Amino acid sequence: MPGITRKRDDKSWIYYDPAGKKITIKQEITRLNTLAFPPAYKDVWLCPEENGHILATGYDTKGRKQYLYHPEFREQ
């Protein structure tokens, strides 16, 4: 599924929806910031759905793919 991407802008992130349009809705930006995916991760994909079982993926500095799962999915 196409997802949200991010780019660094000074001290904050700019998020782009799957179509490449900049996300400006404060509530959505806050949700994405609370995922707290490490800034060093590359090629980060963020789930456009709040309740997706995988909330984010990205590659660490060693090139390993890392996943951030929804808390309820981890419980199962």
pTM score, whole prediction: 0.86
Q: Show pLDDT as tens, one digit a residue, over the chain (76 residues).
A: 799 999 998 889 999 999 999 999 999 999 999 998 898 999 999 999 998 899 999 999 999 999 999 987 777 7
Residue with token string 């090139």:
63
Q: What is the pLDDT of residue 73?
A: 74
| Euclidean distance between the first and the last CA atom of the chain, given in angstroms as a whole number | 22
**Distance from C-alpha of 60 to C-alpha of 41, rounded to nearest angstrom:** 5
Q: What is the pLDDT of residue 8?
A: 92
Q: What is the pLDDT of residue 30?
A: 95
**Cβ(27)–Cβ(14) under 8 Å?**
no
Residue 72 CB partners (closer than 8 Å, separation 6+) = 51
Q: What is the pLDDT of residue 24?
A: 97
Handedness of CA 44, 57, 65, 60 (dihedral sign): positive
